[in-house]
Amino acid sequence: MADASSKGLGVTPELRTYLLAHSVPQDPAHAELVAATRDAMGDLAIMQIAEEQGPLLTWLTGLLGARRAVEVGTFTGLSALCIAQGLGEGGRLTCFDVNEAFVAVGRPHWERAGVAERIDVVIGPAAATLAGFDPGGAVDLAFVDADKTGYRTYYELLLPMLRPGGVIVFDNALYFGAVLTDSDDADVRAIQELNAHVATDPRVETVLVNVGDGLLLARKR
């Protein structure tokens, strides 16, 4: 008899196509941005979110009825595109990144998808720019996919901005499985420490899910 604990599947390209075909519909701008990122970024394209995470971000944004969203670490903007498409009427997404050249890859695709006017971009070190950020009201959703050693700082900066019931999502929460190792790598240790801290933080309810490279979701109480 099969062990119920082994039900998880590795995501092949074919299975990813199936997942996308049965999730929140995507328009051509998504596939074009994925392709443009591969062309422009080469090996750095691995920094882009897993494609199957995109529909989940759109769905979660809509589920929360989000009108104010924040993203820390935009890269070429696939996650920003997906979040912006889920925003309610009049919603705004503020993106924090350190590299305008990365963000510039995504801007034409935001335009094509009709969401560019919903997205503001702040260029600079996120720990400093986020610390001085006034969202103009409580934030509904935050997505973090930036330098891993900064995750704990971003968590502490974002949580006070979040409304009760709002959600912070961290990407790479499994770090290619390295969270199970006794690694000396600073990024791995930062993810391990964040996961442990958030899981026991009484200010939030948390779930860690195996989508892409792992998503840690923390809902503010």
SS3 183: coil
pLDDT score for 6: 61
Q: Would you say residue 5 lies in a domain? A: no
Given this model, what pLDDT does residue 10 score? Answer: 82
Give the mean pLDDT per block of 10 residues along the chain (221 residues).
Answer: 64 92 93 97 96 97 98 98 97 98 98 98 97 97 98 98 98 97 97 98 97 97 98
Yes or no: say if 128 and 102 are a contact pair by the CB < 8 Å rule.
no
Give a yes or no: residue 3 inside a domain: no
Rounded to an integer, what distance in angstroms lies between the CA atom of residue 123 and that of residue 121? 6
Residue 134's domain comprises 10-220
Tokens 């090996």 locate to 43
Instruction: Collapse the DSSP code of 96 into the 3-class scheme (helix H, G, I; strand E, B; otherwise coil) and give the result.
Output: strand
Q: What's the confidence (pLDDT) of residue 1?
A: 46
Provide the CATH number for the domain around residue 63: 3.40.50.150
pLDDT at 169: 98
Q: What value does the CA radius of gyration of the chain take, rounded to a whole number of Å? A: 17
Q: Is residue 212 part of a domain?
A: yes
Residue whose token pair is 């039900």: 7
Backbone angles phi, psi at 46, to 5 degrees: -60, -20
In a domain, residue 4? The reply is no
Residue 2 lies in a domain: no
Quote the pLDDT of residue 102: 98
Domains in the chain, number: 1
